[in-house]
Chains A and B, each alone.
Chain A
């Protein structure tokens, strides 16, 4: 059944079959939106994890601190969704022409429309032998969090955090709050440099050190060494030093869960599934599909405010907003469809500081501290790209960000010319100090084959990670 015209759309809404692959935040909110907006057909929820949808942000905070058990973060429901749940069984294949999803247990499930919301997973430690040492952890699922929490509760002598992005910084913060010795090894010059730039990263570096973190920047971990029984005991760093550790938390970012889409003909790779602003997936040729939608961390969608760049956002709020748009558009047609235009926003809590961001800080060539002071860790900084405001970051100053969001939406000039309350003595524009984009990235490579226009096709080649 297709849903192009209003009549067909109506019939689809009444009796169609929707399959959602990915039973986490985005999948759940999309399902709720479908029901909320009157979808009465059948709905199948497929998830590789055995649990009902649960929330992940508390895993690196409340759960590690022991305030909340790892299995206690199930997401509240906005409404009943009356779905056929297939949990604990991953999808392993998609046949676009036949409209069928293949599951790991051999089942095949047909659909009229499909939503891909498979999210991302933690990038594992690259060395497979070292990865399996007892004491090496990643943190993405509630199972990961439970294991890591158990280890932290057993009070290891020293924890090594590999990578000082948001996850690494939050883990380090939790360890210090638990009174554990912790070393953070970061390839870049300061923590969070990739997300917020070196200027603000330096503020975070001071937060680490003042809270007793042994922060080591510009180093990588070259090897994890185990004892004969397979327990982690030492880490070797690129500066030639070695440290004795009982636990290592690998915080090297994430990878899109898209392997199951290999060969499906969709534009899917380690950096997600490309889709349009209405959440419709692109096929590998860059042509938009009709019946396959994408939402959440796995989606890579163009944002008009950022020069139509495809943004791959692992943001909680983005997952919710995009899922709502996807759900709406799956049962709407033509002009009733909506674009996903939410301004990206994220938060992190570490070392007792609330870090908030609106816009896309990495989309910037300049920044300026507008309010407060970096030294006191209470400030708002605006980011600019080619003379307009593209982002703002606040430390413990969240109440002002609505204003900066409006500046971003209005493409207000950068640097801003006004004088705000609590302005620093000197207001000047500076480089945010983002790393050179030529640094190794983990993206997929695309090549075009064929010579005649009718033959030309795009193919993915394996990532060069």
Chain B
């Protein structure tokens, strides 16, 4: 899956780094580093992270929704 964070908008709220910690990493207090091409297994967490971004700065590819998108939010 492809994603990008508009770091011009990002204000370092770190919601993404809480909700998908293997994809989004705070490097210091406010600086965000992320994996622009995470494994599809991260889809569920990435979706939570993108929805939670207070400035809606996370763009996930709209043309290649992985099949695992249907797996839902159950905690297994």
Indicate whether A and B are direct neighbours in the complex (CB within 8 Å).
Answer: yes
Question: Which A317-340 residues have C-beta < 8 A from chain B?
Answer: 317, 320
Q: What is the chain A residue whose CB lies nearest that of B6?
A: A317
**Complex contact A345–B8 (CB within 8 A):** yes
Closest to A321 in B: B8
**Which chain A residues border B1 with CB–CB below 8 Å?**
76
| Interchain CB contact under 8 A, B3 and A396 | no
Question: Which residues of B (15-29) have their CB < 8 Å from a CB of A?
Answer: 25, 27-29
B11 near A: Cβ within 8 Å? yes
State the interface size on chain A (CB cutoff 8 A): 33
In the bound complex, how far is the Cα of B63 from the Cα of A79, in angstroms?
6
* B8-A62 in contact (CB<8A): no
**A347-B35 CB under 8 A given contacts A78-B62, A354-B12:** no
Does B31 have its Cβ within 8 Å of any Cβ on chain A? Answer: yes
> Inside 8 A of B10's CB, which chain A residues have their CB?
347, 398
- A77/B2 contact (C-beta < 8 A), A68-B35, A352-B27 known: yes
Q: A55 near B: Cβ within 8 Å?
A: yes
> Does B37 interact with chain A (Cβ within 8 Å)?
yes
In whole Å, how far is B18's beta carbon from the nearest beta carbon of chain A? 17
Q: Is the CB of B36 within 8 A of A61?
A: no
Question: Complex: how many Å from CA A191 to CA B15?
Answer: 32
Instruction: Decide if the interface of chain B is mainly helix, strand, loop or mixed.
Output: loop
CB contact under 8 A between A68 and B29, given known A78-B59, A399-B11: no
Any B CB within 8 A of the CB of A315: yes
- In whole Å, how far is B50's beta carbon from the nearest beta carbon of chain A? 11
* Min CB gap B76→A, angstroms: 27
A438 at the interface (CB under 8 A from B): no
Give the docked Cα–Cα distance between A78 and B3 (Å): 10
A401 to B30, CA, bound (A): 13
How many angstroms between the C-alpha atoms of A61 and B36 in the bound complex?
A: 12
Tell me, yes or no, whether A387 is within 8 Å of chain B by CB.
no
- CB contact list, A357-403 vs B, under 8 A: 396-399, 401
Given A76-B61, A347-B7, A352-B31, verify A398-B12 contact (CB < 8 Å).
yes
Determine whether A310 belongs to the interface, using a CB cutoff of 8 Å to chain B.
no
Asked if B37 and A68 make an inter-chain contact with CB atoms under 8 angstroms apart, the answer reads yes
Q: A401's closest neighbor in chain B, by CB?
A: B11
CA distance A73 to B64 in the complex (A): 15
Residues of B within 8 A of A320 (CB): 6
Whose C-beta in chain B lies nearest to the C-beta of A353?
B28
CB-nearest residue of chain B to A315? B8
Digit string of B41-76 for contact with A (CB within 8 Å is 1, else 0)?
000000000000000000111111000000000000
| B27 pairs with A55, CB closer than 8 A | no
Complex CA–CA separation, A396 to B11 (angstroms): 9
Q: Is the CB of A77 within 8 A of B63?
A: yes
Contact flags (1/0) for A43-87 with B, using CB distance below 8 Å?
000000000000101100110010110001111111110000000
Question: A: which residues have CB within 8 A of B?
Answer: 55, 57-58, 61-62, 65, 67-68, 72-80, 315-317, 320, 345-347, 349, 352-354, 396-399, 401
Contacts A347-B8, A353-B31 known; list 6 others, CB within 8 Å. A58-B33, A68-B37, A72-B37, A78-B62, A352-B31, A353-B28
A-B contact pairs, 30 of them (CB 8 A): A55-B36, A58-B34, A58-B36, A62-B33, A62-B35, A62-B36, A68-B36, A72-B36, A73-B36, A74-B2, A76-B3, A76-B4, A76-B62, A77-B62, A78-B62, A316-B7, A317-B6, A317-B8, A320-B6, A346-B8, A349-B32, A352-B27, A352-B28, A352-B31, A353-B31, A396-B28, A398-B10, A398-B11, A398-B12, A401-B11
